[in-house]
């Protein structure tokens, strides 16, 4: 199967006693599919997402993409992107500068960078905002910039960790649909972590519930 395959994923944090955050989880995500991971705080969904991306090490298990085992592959070589709850934008950079960051790190030529930034500004509905400071933007606009920045390097998988939870309910509902449309248009495979059932239903093709470190 083309896409993501996770087998026996287990994450245990040291402590006395140790904390078992993710307990032997198996998951497959087809290329181009958006899967929602739904569950209450503390159920292990963010730890599971972080283990897939590589920011948290697996205690046991494997992460595979298109048949290639990435379990011991460093984060920056997995070809995965991540969007966080607060966006984590660079306040000293403009909107365009934020979106271009990953492309700069990959040493993409300037003309190609500019074209990709312009393309993504249009995709996320911020055409003409490139020169603005991110501090001037609303919460919803900042999350769109964060999404565009993550999509800029064309990740094969995008992980979104509670991407809309900092926004008010009305904006969250509208932006959830917009984010889904953007991901579908880009053909991006995505995993969305949320505690909001309506948000999961709006954003994902398929929703899986998680509880006590396991998928139900």
Q: In the prediction, which pLDDT does 1 show? A: 64
Q: How many CA atoms lie within 13 A of 5 on its CB side?
A: 9
Q: In the prediction, which pLDDT does 206 show? A: 96
Rounded CA separation 7/24 (Å): 7
Q: In the prediction, which pLDDT does 87 show? A: 64
Give pLDDT < 50 ranges for the chain. Answer: none
End-to-end CA distance of the chain: 22
Interval 55-92: pLDDT, tens: 999 999 999 999 999 999 999 999 999 987 766 899 99
Question: How does the average pLDDT of the chain come out, rounded?
Answer: 92
Rounded CA separation 67/37 (Å): 23
Select the CATH number that applies to the domain covering 1-79+157-216 from these four: 3.30.870.10, 3.40.50.300, 2.130.10.10, 3.30.70.360.
3.40.50.300
Domain boundaries, the chain: 1-79+157-216, 88-154
Q: In the prediction, which pLDDT does 214 show? A: 97
């Amino acid at each position: 199967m083309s896409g993501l395959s996770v087998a026996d994923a287990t994450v245990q944090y040291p402590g006395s006693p140790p904390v078992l955050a993710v307990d032997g989880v198996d998951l497959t995500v087809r290329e181009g599919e958006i899967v929602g991971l739904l569950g209450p705080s503390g159920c292990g969904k963010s730890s599971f997402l972080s283990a897939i991306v590589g920011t948290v090490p697996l205690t046991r298990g494997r992460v595979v993409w298109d048949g290639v085992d990435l379990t011991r592959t460093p984060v920056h070589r997995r070809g995965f992107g991540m969007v966080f709850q607060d966006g984590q934008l660079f306040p000293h950079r403009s909107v365009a500068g934020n979106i271009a960051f990953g492309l700069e790190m990959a040493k993409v030529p300037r003309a190609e960078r500019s074209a990709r930034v312009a393309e993504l500004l249009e995709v996320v509905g911020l055409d003409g905002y490139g020169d603005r400071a991110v501090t001037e933007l609303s919460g919803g606009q900042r999350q769109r910039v964060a999404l565009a920045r993550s999509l800029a390097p064309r990740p094969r998988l995008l992980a979104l960790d509670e991407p809309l939870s900092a926004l008010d309910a009305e904006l969250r509902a509208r932006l959830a649909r917009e984010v889904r449309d953007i991901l579908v248009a880009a053909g991006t495979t995505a995993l969305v972590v949320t505690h909001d059932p309506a948000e999961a239903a709006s954003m994902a093709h398929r929703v899986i519930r998680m509880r006590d470190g396991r998928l139900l």
